[in-house]
Amino acid sequence: MALCVEEDPSSDWDDVEEEEEEEEPCQDLFSCKMFRNVEDMLENCKAVHKFDLNGFFKAKGLDFYGRIKLINFIRKLSPRPIDVTDAVTPYPWDDDTYLKPVLAPDPLLHWDCGSDTEEEEEDKDAPDLVDEKSTKSSDVRAVEEELVEARCQLDRMKHFVQELVTENSRKPTEPHVDDDDSYFESYSHFGIHREMLQDKVRTEAYRDFMTLNKALFQDKIVLDVGCGTGILSMIAAQCGAKKVIGVDNSDILYSAIEIVRENKLEETVDLIKGKIEEVELPIDQVDIIISEWMGYFLLFESMLDSVLFARDKWLSPGGKVFPDKCSLHLVAINDDQLWKNHIGYWDDVYGYKMSCMKKAAITEALIDVVNSDTVMTDSCIVKEIDICKVSGQELDFEADFQLQVVKEGMCTGLVGYFEAEFNGDVKIAFSCSPSHSPTHWKQTVFLLPKRMQLFKGKIIEGRLGCKRNLAYRRSLDIQLNFVGLPGYTIKYCIA
């Protein structure tokens, strides 16, 4: 890309730019809604999203490039306004990849957010500049030079952004691969569906609940969110549902259509490809939503957000969502071999210390089957979720925990697992606890930097924080703080 040379500050660029901006529509920062121009879009941001873009620029001290990165970051990853306002350094948009425009053209990229301020400064100093030859002091000259330089710099910036947009528009359109694209692509492979179907704890819990509560499904309209191979949709149909609608955005849906036909259920089961947030259903309301949305540490993948969207949009008054209750638990373990394999290993790698690798390894939560013999405390519930009532904002949370040591030894980490309930006339539940049969979710292990000696009867106290990752919303950021161990705070990522 060629560098732009300085142009005469007295050029008529601003007049042309202003006329074009009035006529150029602008997409909303946090939705697909279009506005007549940038100004209308920004007013909507303030009124609807409670987000003042210009004020945010100033509050964060973002320079020109920082502003470009922020706009493209929002365009690309569609974070919530609160996720952007709560961001701390290093900012997730502080990456040169976000200099490339996501929309082409994007009038917001060459919106002059500082022109009003500069014009006010220019007007304020105008009386001094009029009498320049006789009264201008050295300080006034310095101010004038700064204003001229600022104006030139602004012109250079405008040309730079225009060049970026023009270059981007010349290139052939490339498929946009984002976090969601990769997520749905992963569910297009047959292996992952075989693994889920072969998980008897999981699949038989859904099957048993529906077959033992047929009266609940009789003549009902059922929505299956993330239907995959269609197994839950077919079970619901055979349990008496009048109509079942399965929705999935991965290519496995095409196989599901064939599976439904093969089992002669196409009259009852309709399958739709697309994101639940974007599809149109052939009905206005459903009586039951069923979904296997749970991920590692319960909330990984953020699929529950899609279930809540479907609940709020289509579930009839008095309707049900299954499973309807879930809980997230913690226990402490003493698994010295696991700790040595993943953490202690880096203290001596063929005689060399690799401390930086050890620090990185600590932050990565492990997904593994934990031996029940390694559990050394009772369990503690850190989050309970009523799927029929919970809001999306409540899925980012902090909770205190207390674990009583029942078997003394060296504590090497904490383990997270979840339990799910289906509450009908006949209640069905399953657990991913280390003391139960393994599931494909396994357990989530948070290894400690150092092993801690614990004695029977001791109470481990602390606080757990869980929130969706700002840049990759389907990943989770976990933070553990331990009472009585000053500064002992560990941050983990489940990705």
Residue 287 corresponds to which tokens in the numbers above? Answer: 């009586």
Alpha helices in 348-466 (DSSP H): 355-362
Q: Is 408 a catalytic residue?
A: no
pLDDT at 484: 66
Per-residue pLDDT band at 4 (split at 50, 70, 90)? very low
Write the CA distances from 226 to 79, 158, 220, integer angstroms. 22, 45, 19
Could you tell me which residues come within 8 angstroms of residue 363 by beta carbon, excluding any fewer than 6 positions away?
Answer: 490, 491, 492, 493
What values do phi and psi take at 245, rounded to 5?
-115, 115
CATH architecture of the domain formed by 325-494 = Distorted Sandwich (2.70)
pLDDT range class, residue 89, cuts 50, 70, 90:
confident
Helix orientation angle between 200-212 and 231-238, rounded to the nearest 10 degrees: 20
pLDDT class of 468 with cuts at 50, 70, 90? confident
| Cβ pair 249, 275 in contact under 8 A | yes
Helices H, strands E: what count in the chain?
A: 17, 17
Is 161's pLDDT higher than 60?
A: no
51 closest CA partner among 72, 68, 28, 73? 28
Cα dihedral 136, 137, 141, 143 in deg (nearest 10): -110
Q: Which of 23, 204, 266, 301 does the annotation list as catalytic?
A: 301
Q: What is the CATH number of domain 183-292?
A: 3.40.50.150
Three-state DSSP state, 84: helix
Tokens of 441: 């979710």
183-292 and 325-494: same fold?
no
- Which of 121, 122, 292, 364 is labelled catalytic? 292
Whole-number pLDDT of residue 113: 67
- Specify which residues 269 forms β-bridges with: 244
Sequence ranges of the domains in the chain: 13-170, 183-292, 325-494
Other CB atoms within a 10 A radius of the CB of residue 64 amount to: 17
Task: Enter the pTM of the model.
Answer: 0.63
CB contact at 8 A, 289 and 315: yes
Residue-wise pLDDT for 171-190, tens only, equals: 444 433 345 555 556 555 55
292 classed as catalytic:
yes
With tokens 């399965």, the residue in question is 246
Query: Is residue 27's pLDDT more than 80?
Result: yes
Contact criterion met (CB below 8 Å) for 220 and 464: no
